Amino acid sequence: QVTLRESGPALVKPTQTLTLTCSFSGFSLNTRGMCLNWIRQPPGKALEWLARIDWDDDKYYSTSLRTRLTISKDTSRNQVVLTMTNMDPVDTATYYCARMAYDSSGYYPTYFDYWGQGILVTVSS
């Protein structure tokens, strides 16, 4: 049974750094072809993909947020951490982690099959 759970602060101040943790079970990020993503959704707005980390520790970031994001994994603890620097009120959103698997060729990540429940992060002074 695959489960994911996001944890972190519900409230951060402008200019602070946000650190979110995704704790997961039911699969391993050591498994070839497995990867984990962070996605966010501002209240009443669309989903936005943020970052992905692959089983081989390759990392990919949203072009528009690349300079502010860092993704890392701790496979021994089954956790993935996302940090976002210089938080602003426009970053107020529900942040999700979601699992994804590469296709059978091993070249292309495919679809988000399992999602965490999300964590609402509000940026306010």
Partner 1 sequence: QSALTQPASVSGSPGQSITISCTGTTSDIGGYNYVSWYQQHPGKVPKLMVYDVSNRPSGVSNRFSGSRSGNTASLTISGLQAEDEADYYCSSYTSTNTLVFGGGTKVTVL
Interaction site with partner 1 (CB under 8 A): 37, 39, 45-49, 52, 60-64, 96, 103, 108-113, 115-118
Q: How far is the CB of 125 from partner 1 (least distance, A)?
A: 27
Contact predicate 38/50, CB 8 Å: yes
Closer of 11 and 47 to partner 1 (Cβ): 47
Those residues with Cβ within 8 angstroms of residue 89's Cβ, 6 or more apart along the chain or in another chain: 14, 123, 124
**Edge-to-edge strand list for the sheet holding 3-7:** 3-7, 18-25, 79-84, 69-74
Q: Name which of 60 and 83 has its Cβ closer to partner 1.
A: 60
Q: For strand 79-84 and strand 18-25, is the pairing parallel, antiparallel, or unpaired? A: antiparallel
Q: Is 99 helix (H, G, I), strand (E, B) or coil?
A: strand
Residue 85 or 110: the one with the smaller Cβ distance to partner 1 is 110
Q: Which of 58, 125 has the CB closer to partner 1?
A: 58
